[in-house]
Amino acid sequence: MFIEGIGAILVVSATTLVGFAFAAKEKYRLKELEEIERGILLMKNQISYLGTPLAALLEQISWKTEGVAGQAFQNIAVRMEERQGDSAEEIWESTWLEVEKKSYLTAVDLEELTAFGRTLGFLEKEQQEGSIDMLLHYLQEKQERIKKRLDKNGRLYYSMGVLSGLLLVITLL
Amino acid sequence: MQKLDEIWKLMPNDVGKRIKDECVLQHEQIQEIRLRVLRPLFVKTNKNKYFLKDGENDWIVTNRHIKEAVEKLGGYSLYAFEEELKQGYLTVSGGHRVGFCGRAVLEEGRVKTLRQVSSLNIRIAGEITGCAEQWLPYLFENNGLCHTLIVSPPGCGKTTLLRDMIRCLSYGISGKESYNVGVVDERGEIAAMKDGVPQMDIGPCTDVQENCPKAEGMLSLLRSMTPDIIAVDELGKEADFIGVEELLHAGVTLISTVHGNDMGGLQKNAKMQKMLEKMENGRVLFLSKTNGIGTVEEIWDTQGNKRYERGGKPCLLRG
């Protein structure tokens, strides 16, 4: 009886954690998208009003952004300063693919980021601002959707976790 | 040994490697590198000028090389260098100057920017410490420094000589006193500033106004830094001469470079003639490449007396 009790507690805890993990994953992705958006907005301002070169502005942005976004901006700045890539696109893409392993971004998010990287380095100011606006539009739209989904399904993930655990325990007992 | 690390960083890897193998390993001093789309890579050194070979054939520059070089030279940020592209050149870290040629985009009849860059000319900045020392005595009259113009066609070493004059006067070399020198470095070639620190030796008493139009820079230095001397590179625009005129009235000594060949040619240019008239007891040094870059051919004063002639005896030399 004692062992069965411990087993039931472990099963319910495990399924509850899975529910939490589902909700947390979306929350962390949202946080990362927010940080990237903040960085890209700063980038736009620096390009529009100061014309700062990418290496210098990404270095500054990396101090003001957290998590994988800050890390990615920092790595890109260093590589650009050292001219480690043949093009800005190459440096941007390889860096985001490296931080992907540590992030909650999806394949679609990364595809949008790398598509933006293909416009870096050779455009005039107005064109560069245009490509930044397109990325900002995507980031804002994604965040809206995630927020709506979290509002709608956030509690559901937790409840599903607990209830599925209980169901499993009852069935097994 | 030339400091070319900055240049290799800015070149496509294979181009840099090829030049290093061919020239640096032969202990040649590179002066100029030219990349032209679908044409051979050209290098000019202190010993030779040649197209680099790939076995029997010429080593051909491709579109990819030019695109990659332009991106790297512009720090992957062409939007930040629109003004420089419009002018047709860019000064990169180390003071090296890169000239661009391509398709000009016009707006209201004026060049807005350059696209489809097809040729690049990378001029390696040379710092020859001490090259000005022997000429300094010619620039003094009654122990006072005279206004000085350094004149030559492009590529004869004007900027290198000017930089060393600044260094000498700033340190107080050749038994002269140390002067406060203000430098207007519009194209970043004289001091090659990086994060506010000059990459070239321009002396301890030198203030640099970087990336600023010459006329505005000269007046700004005059107001803010109380210089004894103001040095500028390549006077040419109408506004530059207006700035110089104000400077001459203010009692500050001017040292500058201009493009030209000889005294006769200078005097035919109305703006130049007017400036020479205002430079009382000034000095004009003419450079050529006859015995290598930086050969001083003649030194004149602005009253029309020849003070030095290559091969001839120095005349009218007074300290």
Are B192 and B258 in contact by the 8 Å Cβ rule? The answer is: no
In whole angstroms, give the CA distance from residue B308 to residue B218.
Answer: 30
As for how many domains chain B has, the answer is: 2
Stretch B171-190: mean pLDDT: 86
Q: What is the DSSP letter of B60?
A: B
One domain for residues B52 and B185:
no
One domain for residues B111 and B137:
no
Q: Is residue B110 part of a domain?
A: yes
Are B78 and B15 in contact by the 8 Å Cβ rule? The answer is: no
Higher pLDDT, B90 or B224: B224
Angle, CA of A71, A73 and A76, to the nearest 5°: 105
Q: Is residue B239 part of a domain?
A: yes
* A82 contacts on B by Cβ (under 8 Å): 9
**Bridge partners for B183 per DSSP:** B208, B231
**Are residues B76 and A86, on separate chains, in Cβ contact within 8 Å?**
no
Mean pLDDT of chain B: 87
pLDDT computed for residue A166 by the predictor = 84
**Are residues A124 and B113, on separate chains, in Cβ contact within 8 Å?**
yes
pLDDT computed for residue B318 by the predictor = 41
One domain for residues B292 and B181:
yes
One domain for residues B259 and B112:
no
Show the domain range for B185.
Answer: 133-309
What's the pLDDT tens digit per position in B232-245? 999 988 889 998 98
Helix (H, G, I), strand (E, B) or coil at B113: strand
One domain for residues B248 and B297:
yes
Are B50 and B42 in contact by the 8 Å Cβ rule? The answer is: yes
One domain for residues B224 and B304:
yes
One domain for residues B116 and B137:
no
**Bridge partners for B140 per DSSP:** B145
Q: Is residue A162 part of a domain?
A: no
**Are residues B78 and A53, on separate chains, in Cβ contact within 8 Å?**
no
Residue written as token pair 């455009």:
A123
Stretch B128-134: mean pLDDT: 89
Q: Is residue B251 part of a domain?
A: yes
One domain for residues B115 and B248:
no
Q: Is residue B319 part of a domain?
A: no
pLDDT computed for residue B319 by the predictor = 36
For residue B170, pLDDT beyond 90:
yes
In whole angstroms, give the CA distance from residue A94 to residue A111.
Answer: 12
**Are residues A87 and B80, on separate chains, in Cβ contact within 8 Å?**
no
Which one, of B263, B261, B213, B211, lies nearest residue B235 by Cα? B213
The CATH code of the domain that includes B103 is: 3.30.450
For residue B250, pLDDT beyond 60:
yes
Are B190 and B173 in contact by the 8 Å Cβ rule? The answer is: no
pLDDT in tens, chain A (173 residues): 788 888 888 888 888 888 777 778 888 999 999 999 999 999 999 999 988 999 999 999 999 999 999 999 999 999 999 888 888 999 999 999 998 888 999 999 999 999 999 999 888 888 899 999 999 999 999 999 999 988 887 777 778 888 888 888 888 77
Which one, of A37, A67, A61, lies nearest residue A141 by Cα? A37
In whole angstroms, give the CA distance from residue B268 to residue B264.
Answer: 6
Beta-carbon count within 10 A of B314 CB: 12
Per-window interface: B 4-33 vs A, CB < 8 A: 9-10, 12-13
Q: What is the DSSP letter of B157?
A: S
As for how many domains chain A has, the answer is: 1
User: Band of the pLDDT at B1, cuts 50, 70, 90?
Assistant: low
- Burial (Cβ within 10 Å: 0-12, 13-18, ≥19) of residue B41: buried
The CATH code of the domain that includes B157 is: 3.40.50.300
Helices (H), B256-303: 263-268, 270-278
**Are residues B76 and A123, on separate chains, in Cβ contact within 8 Å?**
no
Q: Which of A53, A87, A124 minimises the CB distance to B75?
A: A53
User: Band of the pLDDT at B316, cuts 50, 70, 90?
Assistant: very low
pLDDT computed for residue B2 by the predictor = 61
**Alpha-carbon dihedral angle through residues B137, B139, B140, B145, given to the nearest 10 degrees:** -130
One domain for residues B177 and B281:
yes
Which one, of A5, A8, A6, A4, lies nearest residue A165 by Cα? A8
Q: Is residue B128 part of a domain?
A: no
pLDDT computed for residue B314 by the predictor = 52
pLDDT computed for residue B83 by the predictor = 82
What's the pLDDT tens digit per position in B255-294? 999 999 888 888 888 888 889 888 888 999 999 988 888 8
In whole angstroms, give the CA distance from residue A9 to residue B113.
Answer: 70
What's the pLDDT tens digit per position in B188-215? 889 988 778 888 899 999 999 988 899 9
**Are residues A125 and B82, on separate chains, in Cβ contact within 8 Å?**
yes
User: Band of the pLDDT at B125, cuts 50, 70, 90?
Assistant: confident
Per-window interface: B 113-152 vs A, CB < 8 A: 113
Are B139 and B274 in contact by the 8 Å Cβ rule? The answer is: no
Domain final residue, candidates B73, B99, B123: B123
Q: Is residue A160 part of a domain?
A: no
CA distances from B89 to A22, B16, B84, B111, B257 (A): 55, 20, 6, 13, 18
CB-side neighbour CA atoms (13 Å) of B9: 18
Phi, psi of B98 (to 5 degrees): -115, 120
In whole angstroms, give the CA distance from residue A47 to residue A53.
Answer: 8
Are B146 and B280 in contact by the 8 Å Cβ rule? The answer is: no
In whole angstroms, give the CA distance from residue A89 to residue B294.
Answer: 43
* B85 contacts on A by Cβ (under 8 Å): none
In whole angstroms, give the CA distance from residue B58 to residue B39.
Answer: 8
pLDDT computed for residue B25 by the predictor = 65
Tokens coding A148: 């709506």
**Bridge partners for B210 per DSSP:** B185
What's the pLDDT tens digit per position in B74-105? 889 988 888 888 888 888 888 888 999 998 88
> Pairing between strand B295-301 and B193-194?
unpaired
One domain for residues B289 and B158:
yes
Residue written as token pair 């790398």:
A114
CA distances from B87 to B83, B84, B101, B111, B211 (A): 6, 5, 10, 8, 13
In whole angstroms, give the CA distance from residue B44 to residue B157.
Answer: 15
Show the domain range for A135.
Answer: 30-152
Q: Is residue A170 part of a domain?
A: no
CA distance B83 to chain A (A): 11
One domain for residues B88 and B14:
yes
Q: Is residue A51 part of a domain?
A: yes
Are B256 and B148 in contact by the 8 Å Cβ rule? The answer is: yes
Q: Is residue A81 part of a domain?
A: yes
In whole angstroms, give the CA distance from residue B6 to residue B39.
Answer: 24
Reported as type and span, the H/E element at residue B148 is: strand B148-152
pLDDT > 90 fraction of chain B, expressed in percent and rounded: 37
Q: Is residue A8 part of a domain?
A: no
**Are residues B80 and A53, on separate chains, in Cβ contact within 8 Å?**
yes
In whole angstroms, give the CA distance from residue B57 to residue B7.
Answer: 25
One domain for residues B200 and B270:
yes
